[in-house]
């Protein structure tokens, strides 16, 4: 099923449909847009017909200078069967030649009051968001001090209970149990909750609770960029866990690598506080303050000094 169709653009941006109504269900397959200036001059060798086409003041002014025969040919070339739509900006008059060609090929022609650059920017942002690669993971996403922390782990390890404690401590829940993730940029992952379970937490023994109803609108948010992954696992006696923090593990989701920490779970450990501190420490690292690195440098200096004293 197509994620975005031409009719979605009409509704989202309140576009006026001029002609080509039969094609409003055409799928839009790319977030790239086209301003066919070269095509208006007759160069169609690399015409990206699969993109939404924007005709601004420059294109239409040049079009008006063409002969009637050239105008007809250009518009016929613009309207291909795979073209999802053509948008005339600045509320300009739609050429008769374009209306006729669009009706033949069922290419929707729409009109907007917005300036071309403004509409271009808004359309690009909208399409990139809708057409971004997506996946879903089992976990809990919480906004902790502005850091999007994705808490993962096997079922029953205590993810939701930890999230509840974090919410009580003033942090914000984004999603519980299932986190929908989309890659909005090369290194940007954004997570949100499916509409069906938005604002809900499942606590074993209590059942389903509505976080927004219990703690207020300030305890939830709709989406958040994921910056840190914390994996909870039951403590294994013979497993070696990181005690310094020099080595940084990464987990790849879609095409983006995210810093991952593994936190062992055992009775008496306050997971909410540990995760809270992990988020604060992550922020410090991004600001250039790395406690583990500073400790390592101090240790190296101490060893060097001891070596000099023994000589």
Q: What CATH number does the domain located at 6-131 have? A: 3.40.1390.20
Write out the E strands in 163-216: 172-175, 178-185, 188-192, 200-203, 207-210
- By annotation, the residues acting in catalysis are 138, 159, 177, 243
Q: Report pLDDT for 67.
A: 94
pLDDT in tens, 115-133: 999 999 999 999 988 898 8
Q: In whole angstroms, what is the distance from residue 198 CA to residue 83 CA?
A: 36
Are 225 and 214 in contact by the 8 Å Cβ rule? The answer is no
pLDDT in tens, 102-115: 999 999 999 999 99
> Any known ligand binding at 157?
yes
Confidence band of 208 (pLDDT split at 50, 70, 90): very high
CA 274 to chain centre: 28
Element (H, E) at 250: strand 249-253
pLDDT in tens, 165-206: 999 999 999 999 999 999 987 789 999 999 999 999 999 888
Are 75 and 110 in contact by the 8 Å Cβ rule? The answer is no
> Any known ligand binding at 265?
no
pLDDT in tens, 239-298: 776 666 667 789 999 989 999 998 888 887 889 999 999 999 988 888 887 766 776 677
> Any known ligand binding at 260?
no
> Any known ligand binding at 158?
yes
Q: In whole angstroms, what is the distance from residue 22 CA to residue 2 CA?
A: 17
pLDDT in tens, 55-80: 999 999 999 999 999 999 999 999 99
In the chain, the percentage of residues whose pLDDT exceeds 70 is 94
Q: Report pLDDT for 309.
A: 60
> Any known ligand binding at 156?
yes
* Domain boundary assignment for the chain: 6-131, 134-295
Backbone angles phi, psi at 262, to 5 degrees: -110, 120
> Any known ligand binding at 307?
no
Structure tokens at 268: 């008496």
308 pLDDT exceeds 80? Answer: no
CATH class of 134-295: alpha beta
């Amino acid at each position: 099923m197509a994620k975005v169709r031409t009719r979605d653009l009409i509704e989202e941006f309140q576009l006026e449909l001029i002609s080509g109504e039969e094609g409003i269900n055409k799928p839009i397959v790319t977030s790239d847009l086209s301003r066919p200036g070269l095509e208006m001059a007759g160069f169609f060798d690399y015409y990206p017909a699969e993109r939404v086409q924007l005709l601004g003041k420059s294109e239409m002014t040049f079009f008006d200078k063409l002969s009637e025969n050239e105008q007809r040919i250009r518009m016929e070339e613009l309207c291909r069967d795979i073209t999802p739509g053509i948008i005339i900006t600045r509320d300009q008059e739609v050429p008769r030649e374009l209306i006729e060609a669009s009706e033949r090929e069922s290419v929707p022609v729409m009109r907007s009051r917005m300036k071309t650059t403004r509409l271009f920017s808004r359309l690009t942002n909208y399409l990139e968001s809708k057409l971004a690669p997506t996946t879903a993971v089992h976990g809990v996403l919480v906004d902790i001090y502005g850091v999007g922390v994705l808490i993962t782990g096997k079922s029953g390890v205590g993810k939701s209970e930890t999230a509840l404690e974090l919410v009580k401590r003033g942090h914000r829940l984004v999603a519980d149990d299932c986190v929908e993730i989309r890659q909005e940029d090369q290194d940007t992952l954004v997570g949100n909750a499916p509409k069906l379970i938005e604002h809900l937490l499942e606590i074993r023994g209590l059942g389903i609770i509505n976080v927004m109803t219990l703690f207020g609108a300030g305890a939830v948010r709709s989406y958040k960029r994921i910056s840190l992954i914390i994996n909870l696992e039951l403590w294994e006696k013979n497993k070696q866990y990181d005690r310094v923090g020099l080595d940084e593990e990464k987990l790849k989701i879609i095409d983006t690598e995210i810093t991952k920490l593994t936190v062992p779970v055992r009775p008496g450990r306050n997971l909410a506080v540990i995760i809270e501190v992990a988020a604060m420490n992550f922020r410090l690292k991004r600001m250039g303050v790395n406690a583990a690195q500073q400790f390592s440098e101090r240790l190296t200096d101490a060893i060097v000094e001891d070596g000099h004293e023994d000589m």
